[in-house]
Chain A
């Protein structure tokens, strides 16, 4: 805007005010304003347009406008004040609400903070318990695995030895089959020997019979010789002195004949005895051989049955060797699974540790301004946190973990029975 027009506007405004004062019949301020208008604007403009009536009319008009404007502003201000009062009331209510909320939040945060050590204690207890359990379990499982593997390997070795090598069951069966063959051959030999013995006995019987017959002839010869000797003695006696020598010879011949007869009878008796003994031996031998052959047959049959039964068992043993070897491999695989499962246990322990650490870390990051509020709520929160925790506890370990009174070593008393035997674990008898 140009300076001239600004000056004109200011002069016009001052004149308007002068008019207003003129309208209010206050001459001095109007004159002063007119003078001011002269000072700010060009005198030609002022004096050319100013006369009293005009000034009065303009002043009245401006005054009316100002009054109307003032009333409007006053009404607007009144409404604004009313609105502001209303808003202040709302804000007061809100501030009060925020205060309550802040206190509640502080209590909640304090509660969470006080829960942190409980969670930490429980986490530590869980980790220690889990670690002890998993360590012990690992030892036990590996020991069971070791023993199972050793046992299966021993079984496999034993069964392998049964199937292979000089002393193997396989060779023993072959030996038994060989023995069986020999036994069968022996049985055949016995049969042949038996038949041969029968032939010999028959031959002996025939020889005895022939001998008896010959002895009969010898006895008859002796008898006839005796008769001849008697006749010779008779004729020798008739011959007198010349026959005396012949009588002696006849007597000797008679004696020889008698002796020959006795010998023949003795031989006959012995021969009969031998025949009887051979017959008895033959009878006993037949009975013995019959028993032996019967036993041999039973033995052969038994061995055959054993071999027949052992053959499929050998197949079963070979299958068992494979199974025993498989058990060892299976144990190794299972132990590997156990190893990995135990590592999972360790991972769980780490996660529990992390939960506790994160909880602590988060609790420590509460701003200092809030911490002031927390300090007020802390004592109550500590009691409340323990109350909440204890409400959910079901194990002594949990009480011990947060240091609750009346739990732990002092309670885990030992009970000794009458015989001196001590009950393991935490036992209470009423």
Chain B
């Protein structure tokens, strides 16, 4: 069974591009439009979360707060994949225990390297 990545982004374009970057590397990529849908999907087990900050219903920070309350998911690495680049937001992410912050547009190679590093697949 491959390494499972859950991408949470309201943009179908970004979700597709994440697939295009990670599928060929052998990752099993799941995707969700928002935090609520992602929480339901994460019940099946996830090895790493790729999270957008600005999303409808439940934003990225709220989602991270939610999974940090979940015993099984709390220790799973989280990387924010977002257009947001303010230092204040980054610090907030860091305080929440987020492992990485990639600002869009992301380079596919950079994404695959970060994912490999945090999942131990490298």
Interface size on A, residues (CB 8 A): 18
The stretch among A10-18, A270-278, A319-327, A344-352 that forms the contact with chain B is A344-352
Is the pair B105, A135 in contact by a Cβ cutoff of 8 Å?
no
Is the pair A343, B13 in contact by a Cβ cutoff of 8 Å?
yes
Interface status of A422 (Cβ within 8 A of chain B)? no
Given the interface contacts A336-B109, A339-B108, A340-B105, does A346 sit within 8 Å of B20 by beta carbon? no
Beyond the given pairs A339-B21, A339-B108, 12 more chain A to chain B contacts, judged by CB atoms under 8 angstroms and listed by A's residue number, are: A131-B12, A138-B17, A336-B108, A336-B109, A339-B20, A340-B105, A340-B107, A343-B13, A343-B14, A345-B13, A346-B13, A347-B104
Nearest neighbor of A354 in chain B, beta-carbon distance: B54
- B13 — which chain A residues lie within 8 A by C-beta? 131, 134-135, 138, 342-343, 345-346, 349
Q: Min CB distance, A379 to chain B, in Å? A: 32
The contact of B17 among A343, A347, A349, A350, by CB within 8 Å, is: A343
- B20 — which chain A residues lie within 8 A by C-beta? 138, 142, 335, 339
- A138 — which chain B residues lie within 8 A by C-beta? 13, 16-17, 20
Given the interface contacts A349-B11, A350-B83, does A343 sit within 8 Å of B16 by beta carbon? no
Q: Min CB distance, A69 to chain B, in Å? A: 72
- A135 — which chain B residues lie within 8 A by C-beta? 12-13, 16
Nearest neighbor of A127 in chain B, beta-carbon distance: B11
Contact with B along A325-342 (1 / 0, CB 8 A): 000000000011001101
Helix, strand, loop or mixed for chain A's interface?
A: helix
CA of A217 to CA of B5, assembled, Å: 113
Given the interface contacts A138-B20, A142-B20, A339-B20, does A346 sit within 8 Å of B109 by beta carbon? no
- A134 — which chain B residues lie within 8 A by C-beta? 13
Nearest neighbor of A130 in chain B, beta-carbon distance: B13
Given the interface contacts A339-B21, A349-B11, does A139 sit within 8 Å of B16 by beta carbon? yes
CA of A364 to CA of B21, assembled, Å: 42
Is the pair B12, A347 in contact by a Cβ cutoff of 8 Å?
no
Nearest neighbor of A136 in chain B, beta-carbon distance: B16
- A347 — which chain B residues lie within 8 A by C-beta? 83, 104-105
CA of A147 to CA of B83, assembled, Å: 31
CA of A350 to CA of B52, assembled, Å: 13
CA of A158 to CA of B66, assembled, Å: 53
CA of A413 to CA of B102, assembled, Å: 46
Contact with A along B49-83 (1 / 0, CB 8 A): 00000100000000000000000000000000001
The contact of A343 among B54, B105, B109, by CB within 8 Å, is: B105
Contact with A along B81-122 (1 / 0, CB 8 A): 001000000000000000000001111110000000000000
